[in-house]
């Protein structure tokens, strides 16, 4: 998929809008596919500077993602499998879940546990770890369940 200047302009506006909502006090959850991999992450990281952010990589085997894409019926066929891995290339996540053999509630629980533990470490004054999502944050977590497709890279 090729993106042009109009996409980049709209993407920049979107990212700045999300950052503005968070700076205004909203607790924001964003589910995006990083079409540009690490470059997409860098643009978001810049816009979200100074905010606590939890970067969650949601992975899925390409063949499984392709099957889900067809089963959903509301996706363009052939988009999921080729993006299953490239959207994560060069991107460091605070937490990763793998939806290949997992249910969505299990993934949500794994993410919630991570958020609660990070909040507890913050309130205890623990130093270290990812400055974006709180001290002591692991870079990867348990594989947890979901029926999501590939590339849901930020939450």
Q: Read off the pLDDT of residues 76-100 as tens digits, 9 standing for 90 and up.
A: 888 888 888 888 888 889 999 999 9
Q: Which CATH superfamily is domain 29-124 in?
A: P-loop containing nucleotide triphosphate hydrolases (3.40.50.300)
Closest C-alpha to 150, from 40, 74, 57, 41: 57
List the chain domain ranges.
Answer: 29-124
Least confident of 55-69, 117-131, 141-155: 141-155
* Interatomic CA distance for residues 115 and 110, integer angstroms: 9
pLDDT higher than 60, residue 151: no
Per-residue pLDDT of 87-140, as tens digits, reads 888 888 999 999 999 998 999 999 999 999 988 888 887 654 444 443 333 333
Report the predicted TM-score, pTM, of the whole model to 2 decimal places: 0.71
- 58 phi/psi in degrees, rounded to 5: -110, 110
* Interatomic CA distance for residues 78 and 65, integer angstroms: 10
């Amino acid at each position: 998929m090729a993106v042009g200047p109009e996409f980049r302009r709209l993407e920049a506006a979107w990212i700045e809008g999300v950052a503005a909502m968070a700076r205004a006090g909203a607790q924001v959850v964003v589910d995006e596919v990083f079409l540009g991999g690490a470059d997409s992450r860098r643009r978001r990281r810049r816009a979200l500077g100074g905010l606590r952010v939890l970067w969650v990589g949601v992975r899925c085997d390409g063949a499984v993602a392709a099957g889900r894409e067809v089963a959903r019926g509301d996706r363009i066929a052939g988009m999921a499998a080729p993006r299953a891995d490239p959207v994560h290339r060069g991107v460091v996540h605070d937490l990763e879940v793998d939806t290949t053999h997992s249910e969505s509630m299990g993934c949500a629980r794994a993410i919630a546990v991570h958020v609660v533990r990070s909040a507890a470490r913050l309130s205890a004054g623990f130093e270290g770890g990812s400055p974006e999502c709180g001290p002591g944050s692991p870079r990867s977590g348990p594989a947890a369940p979901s029926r999501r497709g590939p590339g849901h890279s930020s939450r």
